[in-house]
Amino acid sequence: MRFLVGFLALFLFIGCYNVQRDCTNFKTGTFKFEALSGTEVFKTTIVRNDTLEVDYYEGKTDSSSIRWINDCEYVLKKINPKNQAEKKAILIKILSTHNDEYTFEFSEVGKTTKSTATAKRIK
């Protein structure tokens, strides 16, 4: 009986938690994010409008077109890919938002391996 009461209490606690997800506030703007790849941290600045995303990373600029699936998901496709790997589209899904930050997951379209990062609005 104690187990059942504990389980019900845990279920109610989890069921009452709502993740904030106001994605429309993050469709456009300038953002910074850091992503960990192995032991290396990559810092990127992103400038995004409804149809274009420009990434600034280690002195390099990269542009991608944006196709919104819904308010919280979009697909990035490099405008001028330099190799086969860059031709692959990237799916971005905003998982949660809070103040001027959002947490998102990203992966190549069709792949199951996903990475997560947090971006912060800087303008």
Res. 5: pLDDT tops 60: no
Q: To the nearest 10°, the Cα dihedral for 22, 27, 31, 32?
A: 70
Lowest mean per-residue pLDDT among 15-19, 54-58, 119-123: 15-19
**What's the structural domain count of the chain?**
1
Distance of CA 53 to the CA centre of its chain: 13
Q: Which domain holds residue 39?
A: 20-121
The reported pLDDT for the residue numbered 2 is 55
pLDDT tens column, 66-111:
999 999 999 999 999 989 888 999 999 999 999 999 999 999 998 8
Q: Which residue has the tokens 């389980």?
A: 7
How far apart CA 108 and CA 71 sit, in angstroms, is 19
Q: Is residue 79 part of a domain?
A: yes
Note the residue count of the chain. 123
Q: Is residue 76 part of a domain?
A: yes
The reported pLDDT for the residue numbered 8 is 46
Q: If you average pLDDT over residues 57-67, what whole number do you get?
A: 92
Q: Is residue 113 part of a domain?
A: yes
pTM for the full predicted model: 0.78
Q: Is residue 62 part of a domain?
A: yes
Q: Is residue 115 part of a domain?
A: yes
Q: Is residue 4 part of a domain?
A: no
CATH number at residue 102: 2.40.128.490
Q: Is residue 15 part of a domain?
A: no
How far apart CA 4 and CA 9 sit, in angstroms, is 9
Res. 10: pLDDT tops 80: no
Q: Which residues pair with 37 in a beta bridge?
A: 40
Q: Is residue 78 part of a domain?
A: yes
Q: What is the CA radius of gyration of the chain?
A: 18
Residue 118: both structure tokens together: 């947090």
pLDDT tens column, 36-57:
767 888 889 999 998 999 999 8
